Structure 1
């Protein structure tokens, strides 16, 4: 695997197809300075999320896993003026950094951060009778099967559900009972394969984030 080549090609596409963006650069800088793990989506992946939200015409977006708000801002920039994004974050520290990044991006009126365990927050969203046009799952992988179940509960026909980090450098095909992350992803994929309410596929990705991939589905 030529990781150096992957990086160079990723940077080539970013430099050609994306304008220099001081806001997005400042988010990554703020996240690094705050000591957040460097697990944000890449610029090309962020742009992909943005374009998918635009293609969908999403007005209401749910994100499970905020980190420092990098993907939140990419997604929220695709919203119409009256659109809204709800993002769920377990860590108060991460949420504080994300809140400042979102404010600096001028999106504080469109992005709502809810702090706490997502599996405790998702039932509250259900009680609020919310449904979403697009849902992005990018949180702790062992809970991916439960996140998918809740995503389906908060969906409607046509909702797009995207899940990050489903390849894990190829480890997804290894049934390692000691690796809870891989087990969570494999159980998530099994659930997708059995679930009649969603039509889905997966794509493998390479680049500055290494070898990984997305699962994408549309609710019937």
Structure 2
């Protein structure tokens, strides 16, 4: 390759960021419900780490396309992603949301109720690994999973999701681009390495078909083989 044609990762990152800004403006600016949730999260002092508008739209579409009726969310925060998931599952669907912080879960539930999904969502408070273990012991099964909690445990969450999965279930994980650390020098940082390991685990897992989608902060989508 001629030197002046050599690929610069920073150029690719700039294009990626511009495309994400465009998608987020396109899908987020006119959604009053989700915009109000983001304002409420800021007012209540929660960290500004909700999924991007484009990622939220993808979640709604994936739930709807898959026909999922039993959805499990790992990490509720203020309810932004919960509303996106609930929008896709229809009136017969149920959402079980695991959240470590009780105040976060309370705010999320308030937002789900305002959005019209209060009767369809259940919050389980406490460390997610303990809650997942209990769900396995209770023989609960789900057909859609969304992982968006502490990154150190992503591989552990994945293992539990597979145990809880109906055949053909969809598993989605957010932030798998690790703040644009994957594929660049920043991948040497701890979070980048964690996400690299997670993505490789998903890609090579014998029970999963998977794909990485570069929107938001990166979304990994996998289907549990039947």
Q: What's the TM-score once normalised by structure 1's chain length?
A: 0.87
1:24 equivalent in alignment to 2:34? yes
Distance 1:57 1:81 in 2: 12
Deviation at 1:6, TM superposition (A): 3.8
In our comparison, the structure showing a higher alpha carbon Rg is 2
Q: Which structure has more helix as a fraction of its residues?
A: 2
CA 1:3/1:148 → structure 2, altered by over 3 Å: closer, same or farther? closer
Distance 2:207 2:17 in 1: 40
- RMSD (Å), alpha carbons: 2.0
- The count of corresponding residues between Structure 1 and Structure 2 is 210
Distance 2:166 2:150 in 1: 24
Deviation at 1:121, TM superposition (A): 0.2
Deviation at 1:182, TM superposition (A): 2.6
Counting only pairs closer than 5 Å after superposition, residues 131-146 of structure 1 correspond to structure 2 as: 131-146=141-156
Deviation at 1:102, TM superposition (A): 1.5
1:214 equivalent in alignment to 2:224? no
- For 1:197, the equivalent position in structure 2 comes to 207
- SS of the residue 1:201 aligns to: strand
Deviation at 1:133, TM superposition (A): 1.1
Distance 1:95 1:5 in 2: 33
Q: What's the TM-score once normalised by structure 2's chain length?
A: 0.85
| Contact kept? 2:105, 2:125, Cα under 8 Å | yes
Deviant stretches of 4+, over 4 Å: none
- For 1:13, the equivalent position in structure 2 comes to 26
| Contact kept? 1:166, 1:185, Cα under 8 Å | yes
Deviation at 1:115, TM superposition (A): 0.9
